[in-house]
Structure 1
Amino acid sequence: MEAEAGFLSGLPGIESVPGPELPQIDFLNRFNVETPFSEENQKKYAENDARFKESPLLKKLLEKSKLNKEKNRLQIENKYCLRGAEWGVGDCSAEGMSVEERDKFIEMLKQKAGVNE
């Protein structure tokens, strides 16, 4: 089925007609020049960003964050491993161990995970 365009399809629509000129307000024009988007402010912000990225404090905090992320990841892994051992499922399953071996294994996982019961 072919679609046929109407007889007005080649004419420009209302969106091609320019709108009226809006009045210029002096206060707003001054404000627009002094906005954070002005070239001078952008340059100042870029300099401040560069200086901040090189600061020892930021580097220290980023390193601390990276260490905390790894520590938290290991804690979560240890807790899931402990849960799997207790339930007898997953990679840390104590299935096939004697009761004594299983208890020792679970106790070791509790110490590793920092779980005190």
Structure 2
Amino acid sequence: MLSSTSLHPLAPTSKRNFIGHGAIVRAGPSGKENPPSSSSSLPQLQVHRRAIHLAAASALFLWSTPVEAGVLSGFSGLESVPGPELPKIDFLNRWNEERRKKYEDLDSKFQSSPVLKELLEKSKQNKERNKRAIEDKYCLRGAEWGIGDCSTDGMTQEEKEAFIEELKKRTAAE
């Protein structure tokens, strides 16, 4: 059996106490909360909320400050310390000098070779041809859509068809 003072959810609410907003509130006969007789719990709730907001703001502020580097903050590292002077080996110096001269000679021969000049000229021609082909392709697209620099607006139907045919021939030839 259920008594009227039990805390069971199905018990009558006329005499049941429960906690709401940090204060004990007695439910009235209609089942609605009756506020406590003293109004001291409301300012106390506001103080708790402000304390939580202040704690969160201070935590964000403290976490955003940079961390000091510590003892080694002025130390530039081992890279700045000069190493010991290594002994010079005549054989290796002569060998390195011979290799350097050999590579310089080969580079100068290649720079002045007719093969390199021919390849550079072909590269320049290909660049110009490819640029023209791309321009023609986009001009054809603009003419078909009626937009851009190659728009066919203002042309008669025969002029449009002739212009588009000429563009198709140019793009197909390349």
Q: Same fold (TM over 0.5)?
A: yes
- 2:144 alignment partner AA: E
Gapped runs of 5+ residues in structure 2?
Answer: 1-70
1:107 equivalent in structure 2: 165
| 1:19-98 alignment, distance < 5 Å | 33=92, 38-98=96-156
Gapped runs of 5+ residues in structure 1?
Answer: 1-7
| 1:9-28 alignment, distance < 5 Å | 13=75, 15=77
- Deviating runs (4+, > 3 A) in structure 1? 12-21
- Aligned counterparts of 1:14 and 1:59: Cα–Cα separation in 2: 49
Q: CA RMSD in A?
A: 3.4
**Which string of whole-angstrom CA distances, capped at 9 and with x for unpartnered residues, describes residues 18-72 of structure 1?**
6997xx9xxxx98xx38x9x33322211110000011111111111111111111
Change (3 A) 1:86 1:49: same
2:50 equivalent in structure 1: none
Give 1 or 2 for the bigger CA radius of gyration: 2
What TM-score comes out, normalization by structure 2 length? 0.46
Q: Report deviation, 1:114.
A: 1.5
- Aligned counterparts of 2:120 and 2:81: Cα–Cα separation in 1: 52
- 2:163 alignment partner AA: F
What TM-score comes out, normalization by structure 1 length? 0.66
Which protein, 1 or 2, shows the higher relative CO under an 8 Å CA cutoff with sep ≥ 6?
1
**Which string of whole-angstrom CA distances, capped at 9 and with x for unpartnered residues, describes residues 87-106 of structure 1?**
11110000111111111110
